[in-house]
Chains A and B, each alone.
Chain A
């Protein structure tokens, strides 16, 4: 289970890195494209972090 979570997490971290790279790149765009691009890139980054949270906080079964 942790192996699968780790593989998925690597991909989500890659998405987060792309979001950050995009945020930095978008600084060179004219308004309002810059704001629009940065807005969705921020959402991508937050979604990636949210996905990581969901993965690693998944409830485990309670056995007797």
Chain B
């Protein structure tokens, strides 16, 4: 009977880490879940803007969809901050699955969301300490000093979402030189030249 002294794990047999799985075989599913969350959040913002701009509701009563039934949800800085930090973390965790152009656009979205998150962190801090900045009667972020809150966060979500969706598009339809470097199954098919 032979015994092995030291046992070395072959690279092929090494179990993947969670990060490797999320950016490898699970990348497509992770991005689908992430997209669903982003779109649900968008529906809330679009519902709110419809209530204000189209239906003419007063801003305090324009609470999106969920906020109509559960008003405290919209008024809660914690919920808004929670979404911002979840989005930021997801951007960071899922970034290594992107390559080339899609990676660049994904990181553009990440850095913009980083600032968006800072603004929400300021709001959350004021809610926690019950002390509003700049002598404001309501929590106030920096850019909110000059831009009304509804429009400001509509803007933030827009400029985060667009590079994000461009990144996803280039990820689904990569350039030929980039596709071999993708370790996931997100690519639909190589983009072909017109006949």
What does DSSP make chain B's interface, helix, strand, loop or mixed? helix
A36 CB contacts on chain B under 8 angstroms: 146-148, 151
Total number of A residues with any Cβ neighbor in B under 8 Å: 36
- Highest count of chain B CB atoms <10 Å: which of A22, A40, A43: A40
In the complex, the answer to whether A21 meets B54 with C-beta atoms within 8 Å is yes
Is the beta-carbon distance between A44 and B173 smaller than 8 angstroms? no
Contact present for A40 and B155 (CB under 8 Å): yes
Question: Does B166 interact with chain A (Cβ within 8 Å)?
Answer: yes
Q: Total A-B residue pairs with C-beta atoms closer than 8 Å?
A: 88
* Contact assessment for B155 and A44 in the assembled complex, using a CB-CB cutoff below 8 Å: yes
Q: Is the CB of B192 within 8 A of A63?
A: yes
Contact with B along A1-16 (1 / 0, CB 8 A): 1001100100110110
Instruction: Report whether B148 and A18 are in contact in the complex, using a CB–CB cutoff of 8 Å.
Output: no
A39 touches B158 (CB 8 A): no
Q: Is the interface of A mostly helix, strand, loop or mixed?
A: helix
Known contacts A1-B188, A61-B193: A14-B147 contact under CB 8 Å: no
Q: Given A40-B154, A60-B192: A33 and B148 within 8 A (CB)?
A: yes
A sample of 19 more A-B contacts (CB under 8 A), given A26-B151, A37-B151, is: A1-B191, A4-B173, A4-B188, A8-B165, A8-B169, A18-B50, A21-B49, A21-B54, A24-B53, A33-B148, A36-B151, A44-B158, A47-B158, A47-B159, A50-B162, A51-B166, A58-B169, A60-B192, A61-B193
